[in-house]
Copies of this chain bind each other. A is one copy, B any other.
Amino acid sequence: MVDSAADMAADTVLYEKVALIGLGLEGGSMSHAMRRGGLAGHIVGTARSAQTRAIAAEINLVDEVTETAAEAVRDADLVVLAVPVGVMGAVAAEIAPHLKPGATVSDVGSVKRAVIETVGPHIPEGVHFVPAHPIAGTEHSGPRSGYAELFDNRWLLIVPPAGTDRAAVARLRALWEGMGSHVDEMEPDHHDLVLAVTSHAPHLIAYTMVGVADHLSRVTDSEVIKYSAAGFRDFTRIAASDPTMWRDVFLTNKDATLDVLGRFTEELFMLQRAIRMGDGDMLHEYFTKTRAIRRGIIEAGQDTAAPDFGRGVKP
- Do residues A209 and B244 form an inter-chain contact, with CB atoms below 8 A? no
- Do residues B234 and A234 form an inter-chain contact, with CB atoms below 8 A? yes
User: Which chain B residue has the least Cβ–Cβ distance from A234?
Assistant: B234
- Do residues A233 and B297 form an inter-chain contact, with CB atoms below 8 A? yes
A130-173 vs B, CB cutoff 8 Å, 1 = contact: the mask equals 00000111111000010111100001010000000000000000
Q: Which residues of B contact A220 (CB under 8 A)?
A: 190, 193-194, 197
Copies in the complex: 2
- Do residues B296 and A225 form an inter-chain contact, with CB atoms below 8 A? yes
Given the contacts A234-B234, A236-B297, A311-B303, A244 and B203 also touching, CB distance less than 8 Å: no
User: Which chain B residue has the least Cβ–Cβ distance from A215?
Assistant: B263
The stretch among A62-70, A99-107, A280-288 that forms the contact with chain B is: A280-288
Q: Which residues of B contact A241 (CB under 8 A)?
A: 287, 291
The stretch among A4-12, A38-46, A90-98, A250-258 that forms the contact with chain B is: A250-258
| A199 CB within 8 Å of chain B | yes
Given the contacts A214-B290, A236-B297, A231 and B199 also touching, CB distance less than 8 Å: yes
- Do residues B209 and A202 form an inter-chain contact, with CB atoms below 8 A? yes
User: Which chain B residue has the least Cβ–Cβ distance from A231?
Assistant: B202
Q: How large is the interface on A (under 10, 10 to 19, 20 to 34, 35 or more residues)?
A: 35 or more
* A90 CB, min distance to chain B CBs, angstroms: 15
- Do residues B205 and A236 form an inter-chain contact, with CB atoms below 8 A? no
| A246 CB within 8 Å of chain B | yes
Q: Which residues of B contact A203 (CB under 8 A)?
A: 231
Q: How far is the CA of A216 from the CA of B256 in the complex (A)?
A: 12
| A308 CB within 8 Å of chain B | yes
Q: Which residues of B contact A206 (CB under 8 A)?
A: 231
| A232 CB within 8 Å of chain B | yes
| A240 CB within 8 Å of chain B | yes
Instruction: Pull 25 A–B residue pairs with CB atoms less than 8 Å apart, ordered by A.
Output: A86-B280, A135-B227, A140-B307, A145-B307, A149-B312, A155-B227, A194-B220, A194-B224, A198-B228, A198-B232, A208-B267, A208-B268, A210-B290, A211-B267, A214-B289, A215-B267, A227-B302, A236-B290, A236-B297, A237-B294, A239-B293, A243-B291, A247-B283, A261-B268, A310-B310
